[in-house]
Structure formats: structure tokens, C-alpha cells
């Protein structure tokens, strides 16, 4: 417990600085609010997003604060469940890309030479692949599905994280505390996982938060083009459904679009705030 004391204290200081950072504070509020909506979707949404509950194309009222769509479905319910889908996709893809990026980047920097060259060539190849158009091709060939989209984005979004981890590990592996651990007989894996990686992760958190925002935009773009999963309500699905009714039912596009904008804005501001707090210049 004594060993955890300094780390807990440092984490509290960073959280305090984040909440007192302008961009970070707004990012935390927006992201936390959307996460709360996603987690409590079953209690917040007044109805099933696929069930007709009122007259079609009804403008916002007290009964339906965001109106109804062309089939009489409650738009508020769709936005709530769509937010949950989009954030779930962003979180799962971020965990997958983070794991791959950390493994590739740390191995490349720690092993060096041939391993570094081979892994960096693979990283450059994956980074050059246009994710959006690759997603369009995969969906056109194998059909839409949230699981396919998660796998595709997870396997193509890790190069930026790998590069950040590699740069951090290359810097940290030459530090005095690593040499001290070696002199005490610590093995390579123990030094890497216990000493180096914990100090290399703060910049990774920033990259992951920014990557999550791009994942939401890609899913929204694919669904807007009709390439999303028709069995799952997402914000892009709602925006696609609203295309034909922009002149007669502005609310069908406005509220899902606002939710997408808030999600992306919140994650980007959170990333900016974390960058200021976790960077060496912002840490004091």
C-alpha cells in the first residue's frame, strides 16, 4: 500500500489539473454526460427505438421532446440508443487498437534492429491504408455488421499508437532507473512491463481519446451512406434515415447530428486537456 501512495497522489494531482484545464474540463463534462446516457439508455429512453409510438413526422412536443420519425418512432429513444452504440464501438475499438499498438510499439523499441525495422514497415503499410474506403469494400463484400466494423477499425487504427509507444520506450530504455533495475538483476520483460511501459502510457491515453473520436465519425459516415448495420440503432443510422425528410422534419437530422458533434467535440477536448496535463510542460 505504501508503494501505491505516490502513484495515487500523482493521479489525483493530474485529475485536479485536468478539471482546471479549460478544454479538459469541457471534455470531461461532455464525455461523462454521454457515457452516462449510454450506460443508462434503458432507463432514459422512453420507448424502444424500433417501435412506433406516435404519429409519423410529429415535431418535438412534451410527449416526444425530439419528435417522431417517418414511422412514428421516438427520435429521443433513437438518439439515446444510438449514442450507446457509437460510444460502445469507440470504446471497444480503442481497447483493441491500444493493445495492438502498445505490443507492436514496445516490441519494436525494446528489441531493436531487425525486429524494429520489420514492425515499422508493417506499421507504415497499415497506416497507408485508407480506413474508410477499406471499410466500404469490406462491407460491400461481406455485408454490414457491427462486429466486422469493430474488427476492421481495430486492425487498422493502431499504427499511430504504436509509433507513440515506440518513441517513448526508446527514450525511457536509456534512463537511469532502467539501468538500476538491470543492475539489481531484473529480467527484460519485468523491466519493460513494470518500469518502462507505465511511464510510456500517458501519451498513449491522449492518442486513444483522439482515435475514439475518429471511430465515431467513420461509423457515422458509413451508416449515413447506408452501409451500417440495419439491425442496430446508431447515430449514423438515424442521420441516414433523416436524409429524405430534411425539408419537412428537420429534427430527424438535427438531434442525431448534434449528438455526433458533441461526442466528437468532447473526446477531442478531452484529448487536448490530457495532452496539456500529461505532457512534461503541462505536468507542473
The domains of the chain are located at: 21-46+67-278
Residue 247 CA to residue 15 CA, distance in Å, equals 45
Cα 153 to Cα 131: distance, rounded to the nearest angstrom: 7
Q: State the Cα–Cα distance between residues 191 and 199, nearest whole angstrom.
A: 11
Residue 272 pLDDT? 85
Which ranges in the chain belong to alpha helices (H)? 4-19, 22-39, 41-44, 75-111, 113-128, 131-142, 146-156, 159-172, 176-183, 188-190, 197-224, 235-242, 250-278
Report d(CA 171, CA 155) in Å as an integer: 26
Task: Give the rounded percent of residues in the chain with a pLDDT score beyond 70.
Answer: 90
**Mean pLDDT within 98-118:** 90
Tell me how far apart the terminal alpha carbons of the chain are, to the nearest angstrom. Answer: 26
Distance of CA 277 to the CA centre of its chain: 19
Kindly state the DSSP code that residue 52 receives in the 8-state scheme: B
CA distance 249 to 64: 14
- Check whether domain 21-46+67-278 has CATH 1.10.3720.10, yes or no: yes
pLDDT for 67 equals 94
Which comes out higher in pLDDT, residue 176 or 85? 85
pTM listed for this prediction: 0.84
SS3 68: strand
Q: How confident is the model at residue 186 (pLDDT cuts 50, 70, 90)?
A: low
- C-alpha torsion sign, points 39, 44, 48, 52: negative
DSSP single-letter state for residue 12: H
What average pLDDT does this structure show over 146-165? 90
Amino acid at each position: 500500500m505504501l508503494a501505491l501512495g505516490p502513484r495515487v497522489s500523482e493521479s489525483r494531482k493530474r485529475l485536479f489539473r485536468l478539471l482546471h484545464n479549460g478544454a479538459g474540463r469541457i471534455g470531461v463534462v461532455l464525455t461523462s454526460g454521454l457515457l452516462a446516457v449510454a450506460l443508462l439508455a434503458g432507463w432514459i429512453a422512453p420507448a424502444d427505438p424500433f417501435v412506433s409510438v406516435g404519429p409519423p413526422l410529429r415535431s418535438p412536443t412534451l410527449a416526444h421532446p425530439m419528435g417522431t420519425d417517418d414511422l412514428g418512432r421516438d427520435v429521443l429513444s433513437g438518439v439515446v440508443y444510438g449514442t450507446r452504440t457509437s460510444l460502445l464501438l469507440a470504446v471497444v475499438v480503442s481497447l483493441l487498437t491500444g493493445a495492438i499498438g502498445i505490443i507492436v510499439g514496445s516490441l519494436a523499441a525494446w528489441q531493436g534492429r531487425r525486429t524494429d525495422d520489420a514492425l515499422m514497415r508493417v506499421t507504415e503499410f497499415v497506416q497507408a491504408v485508407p480506413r474508410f474506403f477499406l471499410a466500404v469494400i469490406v462491407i460491400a463484400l461481406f455485408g454490414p455488421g457491427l462486429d466486422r466494423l469493430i474488427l476492421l477499425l481495430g486492425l487498422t487504427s493502431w499504427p499511430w499508437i504504436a509509433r507513440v509507444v515506440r518513441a517513448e520506450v526508446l527514450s525511457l530504455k536509456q534512463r537511469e532507473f532502467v539501468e538500476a533495475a538491470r543492475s539489481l538483476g531484473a529480467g527484460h520483460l519485468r523491466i519493460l512491463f513494470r518500469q518502462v511501459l507505465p511511464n510510456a502510457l500517458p501519451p498513449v491515453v491522449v492518442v486513444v481519446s483522439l482515435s475514439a473520436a475518429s471511430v465515431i465519425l467513420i461509423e457515422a459516415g458509413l451508416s449515413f451512406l447506408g452501409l451500417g448495420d440495419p439491425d442496430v440503432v446508431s447515430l449514423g443510422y438515424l442521420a441516414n434515415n433523416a436524409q429524405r425528410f430534411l425539408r419537412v422534419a428537420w429534427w430527424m437530422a438535427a438531434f442525431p447530428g448534434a449528438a455526433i458533434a458533441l461526442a466528437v467535440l468532447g473526446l477531442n477536448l478531452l484529448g487536448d486537456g490530457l495532452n496539456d496535463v500529461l505532457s512534461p510542460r503541462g505536468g507542473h
